[in-house]
Chains A and B, each alone.
Chain A
Amino acid sequence: MDPPVFLQQQFARFYSSHPLSVESVEWREFGTGEWKQKISSRHMAFGSQEEFNRFLAERAPLYVSASAAYYEHPSAKPMEAKQWVKGDLVYEFDADDLKPECFLDHTFWSCPHCQTKGKGAPDYCSSCGERVQVEEWTCPECLKATRRELFRLLDVLEQELGMREGFSFNFSGNKGYHVHVRSPTWQFLSPKARVELVDYLSGSGLEWPKLGFEARSGGFRLPSGPQSGWSRRTYDYLNSLLAEGDYAKIAALGGVREADAKKLLNDPSKVLVALSEGFVPSGLGKKNEAFWMKLLSAALECNRIRLDRSTSIDSSKLIRVPNSLHGETGLAARVLSREQLKEFEPLHEAVVFGPDSVRLEGVRAPKFFLGGEFFGPFADESAELPLFAAVYLLGRGNAHGIVV
């Protein structure tokens, strides 16, 4: 049996017994996807939850997405005829954007030209220079890193931007998480205003002198007065870096010799006092400006929120319907409360299909974790697997077919 047919059968069975609930369903545009194509059809609308769920059970799309925007006429074409009313703010985090340390351990490339293979995600083959194909996998660790980034986002949204209501969280169904903000205070923001929020979160367009940070001859000036937002986070970063007193780290970050870093931090307590007073004298001569600018860049890199920019700024974006299935993994885009989010184990708790045994052909996969257990590795072989793992491999394209 062809993988898409098998997957659709499984998805139809799931949707028949697990109705979804989409907030303001009648105001949203929907799109669906098929085998290897997340959105193949859009401009759909549903008048009620029942109508939407009937559609899912009958058509069993491998992907179903809804607009963050609310429209007067969600099915109208072209886009401008839909008449935008308002839109949720959406923030998306994916492990492949964050690239935590473990990510490259379970990302593999292969060259279709010379068949060379390796770990990591280069653009070109190291042997023949041709473009390579990259296969990404996820593990509990990189999904935890993605979740940590989400909590960093929440800190900034709440403490700095004052966003305090209307949050809804869900697992993406594959490599990350989605945050929806459904609050009238924010839903009417213009596209440009949304870009400003994303720029703020990601530190894009940040100009240090405007925040009061400036490398001057003989030292480094910091903002005076109450610290806020980016200046507070930058100050905290520098303070903790200098307090840590790791000369080798400071030298590496600032692009100077370790001896220069030691000279600067000759008396760490004095440096920290100077930092709090707004001017740190540093006898680094010509290297002074470059040194401090590099430390500021490190502060920016550490403090910026690494989110998927296009999801947040594209007003016509369709995003996975919460609690729907992801066609590439068969995992559910589980809606989570903030408390649930803290402990959520996606590769276990987002599994929806059962343990019934299925025989697959042509399975190619490294060792992977799913549903609380490890599987593989498999080298183009047939294998007997529980249904949830079979759906996962078929959706990803890591198995050729099913033996019925």
Chain B
Amino acid sequence: MSVSEQLRFAYRYPFSSAARSIVAASGLSLGHVSEELVGQARSWLLRKPGEKKPVLSDSAFSRKLEEEVLSFPVAKAIVSQTNASVLMDGFALSVAYWCSESVQKEDPSGLLDLAQELGLKPDLLKAKPILVCILVPDFVQAAAGVSSLKLVNQRVENGNVFLGRSEMEAVLIELIRSRVRSSLPVKIGPVPSLIAQAANEVVNEHKKRRKATALEGIQGTIVPSLFPDCMKELYSRLQEGRNVPHLGRFSVATFLLSIGMKSADVVALFAKTPNFNEKLTRYHVDRLAEGPKGKVSAPSCAKLKEYGLACTDCRFKHPISKYVHNLKNGGENPADH
């Protein structure tokens, strides 16, 4: 790869080893970053998903290179400093979106270069509609959790997954997201004031942007008849003293705690189960309510599906969203309960 090609690759993929080499060669130090660079880094963090890359003329390329490639590690430092996993998730997603435009423009050998950069070793087949094949463990490790890339819906034989162009692109974009996310938070020594200040600004800006979630309005409103069907089933099983498997217990407990049920009430709900042990139940429920990482979130519908607990006809992505929807549209006034 020539220097110019390396620069262009780094611009397209700022997480890459090519980009890291450029940053290292520039002698960038977080203690001495310019306000301009911090400003550019902040724009990484406030970029909206789907925002398009500017088309660069050759003359603008070098300048943009500095703004984009060098600002990327600064952006990582800022988002790490926020200590907010939701912002780190958003940043990783935003970078993946940003790169997806370039991924879609790559020719097959460019896709292979990128795959290699991301630790994947596909074999190029060029037999339309199949482009590449990847070993099953590499595929599931890369694409797990992306609903459009479920292994069960792929062509699988003899230890290989056969992918068309668009599927391969989707795998790479997901790998970019997970590569960036797993690199966060970055550990930095003493935090330069510009970085700390930028982190505060980013947090405040996100707070402003964030609409008041519906959840805030429903805390403590427990209306079992309006629970989504999956939770209604688990809840009624517990009330009837029927056995509920471990993952079902976990799911319903985190759901109830998330909508504001008190820990003691959750423990009481489990009292009728055949193997009830109050001390043990209280310990687990308390940990779900106030563990070392705060309250444990209720599993999403995708997770519930993994557990075999989801309702088949539910169009929601999270049982809490469905509950909020039911509360608002279910014909019952929460205030009555």
Contacts and interface: CB of A to CB of B under 8 A. Distances in A.
Interface of A: 37, 78, 80, 123, 131, 159-164, 185-186, 188-190, 192-193, 195-197, 199-200, 203-207, 210-211, 226, 228-232, 309-310, 313-314
5 contacts: A78-B291, A163-B159, A196-B150, A199-B151, A199-B152
Contact of A186 (B137, B305, B307): B137
Interface string B146-179: 0100111111111110100000000000000000
Nearest to A209: B153
B52 interface: no
Contact of A231 (B155, B159, B308): B155
B152 A204 contact: yes
A278 to B, nearest CB: 14
Contact of A229 (B137, B156, B245): B156
Contact of B136 (A161, A205, A207): A161
Contact of B152 (A80, A123, A205): A205
A188 B138 CA distance: 11
B2 interface: no
Nearest to A159: B158
B275 interface: yes
B153 A210 contact: yes
Contact of A161 (B144, B145, B159): B159
A49 to B, nearest CB: 30
Contacts of A231: 155
B151 A162 contact: no
Contacts of A186: 137
Nearest to A184: B137
Given A193-B141, A206-B153, A162 B305 contact: no
Contact of B307 (A80, A123, A197, A310): A310
Contact of A205 (B153, B155, B156, B242): B153
Given A131-B240, A161-B136, A162-B158, A310 B152 contact: no
A190 B305 CA distance: 17
Contacts, number: 96
Contact of A193 (B140, B153, B305): B140
B137 to A, nearest CB: 5
A80 B305 CA distance: 24
Contacts of A206: 152-153
Contact of B144 (A80, A196, A232): A196
B247 interface: yes
Contacts of B247: 310, 314
A5 B269 CA distance: 33
Contacts of B162: 228
B150 A199 contact: yes
Nearest to B245: A310
Most buried by A among B141, B246, B247, B305: B141
Interface in B90-131: none
A197 B155 contact: no
Given A161-B159, A186-B137, A310-B247, A197 B151 contact: yes
A131 B305 contact: no
Contacts of A228: 155-157, 162
Contacts of A232: 157
A34 to B, nearest CB: 12
A161 B291 CA distance: 38
A204 B287 CA distance: 31
B137 A185 contact: yes
Nearest to B143: A196
A162 B135 contact: yes
Nearest to A223: B155
A193 B146 CA distance: 10
B241 interface: yes
A192 B156 contact: no
A78 B275 CA distance: 22
A232 B158 CA distance: 12
B306 interface: yes
Given A78-B287, A131-B241, A310-B246, A195 B153 contact: no
B240 to A, nearest CB: 7
Contacts of A164: 159
A195 B149 CA distance: 13
B292 interface: yes
Contacts of B308: 204, 309-310
A187 B262 CA distance: 39
Contacts of A204: 152, 305, 308
Given A159-B157, A199-B152, A230-B152, 8 more contacts: A78-B291, A160-B156, A189-B140, A189-B141, A205-B153, A228-B162, A310-B246, A313-B306
A245 to B, nearest CB: 29
A186 B160 CA distance: 14
